[in-house]
Protein backbone atom coordinates (compact mmCIF):
# COMPACT_ATOMS: atom_id res chain seq x y z
CA UNK A 1 0.00 0.00 0.00
CA UNK A 2 1.26 3.46 -0.92
CA UNK A 3 1.68 5.88 2.00
CA UNK A 4 3.24 8.77 0.06
CA UNK A 5 5.14 9.25 -3.19
CA UNK A 6 8.07 6.82 -3.00
CA UNK A 7 6.93 5.30 0.31
CA UNK A 8 5.06 2.03 0.80
CA UNK A 9 4.08 -0.46 3.46
CA UNK A 10 4.05 -4.08 2.31
CA UNK A 11 0.58 -5.53 2.82
CA UNK A 12 -0.08 -8.40 5.18
CA UNK A 13 3.14 -8.64 7.19
CA UNK A 14 3.65 -8.48 10.94
CA UNK A 15 5.51 -6.41 11.98
CA UNK A 16 5.13 -3.72 9.30
CA UNK A 17 7.70 -3.74 6.51
CA UNK A 18 8.20 -0.34 4.87
CA UNK A 19 9.88 0.39 1.54
CA UNK A 20 11.00 3.80 0.32
CA UNK A 21 12.99 5.21 -2.58
CA UNK A 22 15.54 7.99 -2.48
CA UNK A 23 16.89 8.65 -5.96
CA UNK A 24 17.37 5.20 -7.48
CA UNK A 25 18.10 3.57 -4.16
CA UNK A 26 15.49 1.30 -2.56
CA UNK A 27 15.42 1.01 1.22
CA UNK A 28 13.50 -1.55 3.24
CA UNK A 29 12.73 -1.14 6.95
CA UNK A 30 12.58 -4.43 8.92
CA UNK A 31 11.81 -7.86 7.49
CA UNK A 32 8.69 -9.33 9.17
CA UNK A 33 8.12 -12.62 10.91
CA UNK A 34 9.45 -15.90 9.58
CA UNK A 35 7.00 -17.38 7.06
CA UNK A 36 6.07 -14.05 5.45
CA UNK A 37 8.79 -13.79 2.82
CA UNK A 38 6.27 -14.41 0.01
CA UNK A 39 4.63 -11.05 0.86
CA UNK A 40 7.97 -9.27 0.63
CA UNK A 41 8.95 -10.96 -2.62
CA UNK A 42 5.62 -10.39 -4.31
CA UNK A 43 5.76 -6.69 -3.40
CA UNK A 44 9.13 -6.36 -5.13
CA UNK A 45 8.04 -8.45 -8.11
CA UNK A 46 4.86 -6.51 -8.73
CA UNK A 47 6.63 -3.15 -8.39
CA UNK A 48 9.73 -4.11 -10.37
CA UNK A 49 12.00 -3.22 -7.44
CA UNK A 50 14.62 -4.82 -5.22
CA UNK A 51 16.05 -3.57 -1.92
CA UNK A 52 19.53 -2.05 -1.95
CA UNK A 53 19.55 -1.39 1.79
CA UNK A 54 17.71 -3.01 4.71
CA UNK A 55 17.41 -0.96 7.90
CA UNK A 56 16.59 -2.93 11.04
CA UNK A 57 14.91 -1.09 13.92
CA UNK A 58 15.65 -3.84 16.47
CA UNK A 59 16.33 -7.55 16.68
CA UNK A 60 12.95 -8.98 17.73
CA UNK A 61 11.89 -11.97 15.62
CA UNK A 62 8.90 -10.15 14.09
CA UNK A 63 11.32 -7.56 12.64
CA UNK A 64 14.21 -9.74 11.46
CA UNK A 65 12.42 -13.04 10.68
CA UNK A 66 12.85 -12.94 6.92
CA UNK A 67 16.16 -11.10 6.90
CA UNK A 68 18.15 -14.24 5.95
CA UNK A 69 15.96 -14.88 2.88
CA UNK A 70 15.95 -11.20 1.93
CA UNK A 71 19.76 -11.16 2.06
CA UNK A 72 20.05 -14.42 0.11
CA UNK A 73 17.82 -13.28 -2.71
CA UNK A 74 18.68 -9.57 -3.04
CA UNK A 75 22.10 -9.09 -1.33
CA UNK A 76 21.25 -5.69 0.18
CA UNK A 77 23.41 -3.85 2.66
CA UNK A 78 22.02 -4.42 6.17
CA UNK A 79 22.23 -2.02 9.11
CA UNK A 80 21.30 -2.27 12.77
CA UNK A 81 22.48 -0.70 16.00
CA UNK A 82 24.55 -1.81 18.95
CA UNK A 83 23.60 -4.93 20.87
CA UNK A 84 20.78 -5.65 18.45
CA UNK A 85 23.36 -5.89 15.65
CA UNK A 86 25.18 -8.60 17.60
CA UNK A 87 21.92 -10.53 17.91
CA UNK A 88 21.44 -10.35 14.14
CA UNK A 89 24.97 -11.59 13.58
CA UNK A 90 24.33 -14.45 16.01
CA UNK A 91 26.95 -13.17 18.49
CA UNK A 92 24.59 -12.35 21.36
CA UNK A 93 21.08 -12.94 22.62
CA UNK A 94 18.67 -10.21 23.58
CA UNK A 95 17.90 -10.24 27.28
CA UNK A 96 14.37 -11.60 27.76
CA UNK A 97 11.91 -9.83 29.97
CA UNK A 98 9.81 -12.87 30.62
CA UNK A 99 9.70 -16.61 30.19
CA UNK A 100 7.00 -16.15 27.55
CA UNK A 101 9.21 -13.78 25.55
CA UNK A 102 12.09 -16.26 25.62
CA UNK A 103 9.81 -19.07 24.41
CA UNK A 104 8.59 -16.79 21.62
CA UNK A 105 12.17 -15.99 20.59
CA UNK A 106 13.18 -19.66 20.65
CA UNK A 107 10.17 -20.63 18.54
CA UNK A 108 10.94 -17.97 15.95
CA UNK A 109 14.71 -18.38 16.03
CA UNK A 110 16.29 -16.60 13.06
CA UNK A 111 19.45 -17.76 11.29
CA UNK A 112 22.35 -15.34 11.82
CA UNK A 113 23.11 -12.75 9.17
CA UNK A 114 26.84 -12.10 9.42
CA UNK A 115 27.05 -9.43 6.77
CA UNK A 116 25.31 -6.68 8.74
CA UNK A 117 26.85 -3.32 9.66
CA UNK A 118 26.52 -0.80 12.44
CA UNK A 119 24.21 2.14 11.73
CA UNK A 120 27.22 4.39 12.41
CA UNK A 121 28.34 3.46 8.89
CA UNK A 122 25.11 4.55 7.23
CA UNK A 123 25.43 7.28 4.63
CA UNK A 124 23.52 10.51 4.62
CA UNK A 125 20.15 9.69 3.01
CA UNK A 126 18.89 8.52 6.40
CA UNK A 127 19.25 10.06 9.87
CA UNK A 128 19.67 7.53 12.66
CA UNK A 129 18.07 8.45 15.99
CA UNK A 130 18.76 6.31 19.03
CA UNK A 131 15.48 5.33 20.70
CA UNK A 132 16.46 2.63 23.23
CA UNK A 133 14.26 1.03 25.87
CA UNK A 134 12.15 -1.46 23.94
CA UNK A 135 15.50 -3.19 23.30
CA UNK A 136 18.98 -1.81 24.08
CA UNK A 137 19.75 -1.17 20.41
CA UNK A 138 16.35 0.11 19.25
CA UNK A 139 16.83 2.85 16.68
CA UNK A 140 14.62 5.00 14.51
CA UNK A 141 15.34 6.11 10.96
CA UNK A 142 14.30 9.57 9.81
CA UNK A 143 14.01 10.58 6.17
CA UNK A 144 12.74 13.49 4.13
CA UNK A 145 10.61 12.83 1.08
CA UNK A 146 9.26 15.69 -1.07
CA UNK A 147 9.84 18.13 1.78
CA UNK A 148 8.02 16.01 4.39
CA UNK A 149 9.65 14.24 7.33
CA UNK A 150 8.97 10.59 8.15
CA UNK A 151 10.38 8.42 10.92
CA UNK A 152 10.41 4.63 11.13
CA UNK A 153 10.39 3.81 14.83
CA UNK A 154 10.02 0.03 15.01
CA UNK A 155 8.58 -0.78 18.44
CA UNK A 156 9.80 2.42 20.13
CA UNK A 157 6.17 3.46 19.65
CA UNK A 158 3.05 1.39 19.00
CA UNK A 159 -0.08 2.89 17.47
CA UNK A 160 -3.66 2.39 18.60
CA UNK A 161 -6.65 4.55 17.60
CA UNK A 162 -4.31 7.15 16.10
CA UNK A 163 -2.23 7.55 19.28
CA UNK A 164 1.34 6.52 20.00
CA UNK A 165 2.27 4.64 23.17
CA UNK A 166 5.04 2.55 24.68
CA UNK A 167 4.23 -1.13 25.01
CA UNK A 168 5.12 -1.70 28.65
CA UNK A 169 4.90 -5.47 28.56
CA UNK A 170 7.41 -5.91 25.77
CA UNK A 171 9.87 -3.14 26.64
CA UNK A 172 13.04 -4.13 28.44
CA UNK A 173 13.46 -0.69 30.02
CA UNK A 174 10.07 0.99 30.20
CA UNK A 175 11.25 4.37 31.55
CA UNK A 176 13.95 4.64 28.91
CA UNK A 177 11.38 3.72 26.28
CA UNK A 178 9.09 6.53 27.52
CA UNK A 179 11.97 8.99 27.10
CA UNK A 180 12.59 7.70 23.61
CA UNK A 181 8.95 8.27 22.69
CA UNK A 182 9.24 11.86 23.92
CA UNK A 183 12.32 12.26 21.74
CA UNK A 184 10.34 11.03 18.72
CA UNK A 185 7.40 13.34 19.49
CA UNK A 186 9.74 16.33 19.79
CA UNK A 187 10.61 15.94 16.08
CA UNK A 188 7.20 17.15 14.91
CA UNK A 189 5.95 18.04 12.37
CA UNK A 190 6.65 14.48 11.28
CA UNK A 191 4.82 11.31 10.29
CA UNK A 192 5.62 8.38 12.60
CA UNK A 193 5.63 4.95 10.98
CA UNK A 194 5.39 2.32 13.73
CA UNK A 195 6.22 -1.38 13.59
CA UNK A 196 2.69 -2.19 14.70
CA UNK A 197 -0.29 -0.08 13.72
CA UNK A 198 -0.86 2.77 11.30
CA UNK A 199 1.09 5.94 10.47
CA UNK A 200 0.56 8.84 12.87
CA UNK A 201 1.03 12.39 11.65
CA UNK A 202 2.29 14.67 14.40
CA UNK A 203 1.66 18.35 13.69
- Contact positions vs Zn ion (CB under 5 A): 15, 60, 62, 155, 195
Specify the residue, 15 or 40, whose C-beta has the smaller distance to Zn ion. Answer: 15
Closest CB to Zn ion among residues 6, 68: 68
Taking the least distance from each CB to Zn ion, the nearer of 50 and 172 is 172
Question: What minimum distance in Å lies between the beta carbon of 22 and Zn ion?
Answer: 25
Decide whether 62 or 159 has the Cβ nearer to Zn ion. 62
What are φ and ψ of residue 152, in 5° steps? -95, 115
Give me the least distance between CB of 52 and Zn ion, in Å please.
24
Q: How far is the CB of 134 from Zn ion (least distance, A)?
A: 6
CB of 155 to Zn ion, least distance (A): 4
Amino acid sequence: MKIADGLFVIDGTNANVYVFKIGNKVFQVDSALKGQFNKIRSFYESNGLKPDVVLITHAHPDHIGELPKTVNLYSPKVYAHGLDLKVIRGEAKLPSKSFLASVFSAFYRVAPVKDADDTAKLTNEVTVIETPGHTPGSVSYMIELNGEKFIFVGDAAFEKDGRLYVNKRFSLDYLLAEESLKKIESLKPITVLPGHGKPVKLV
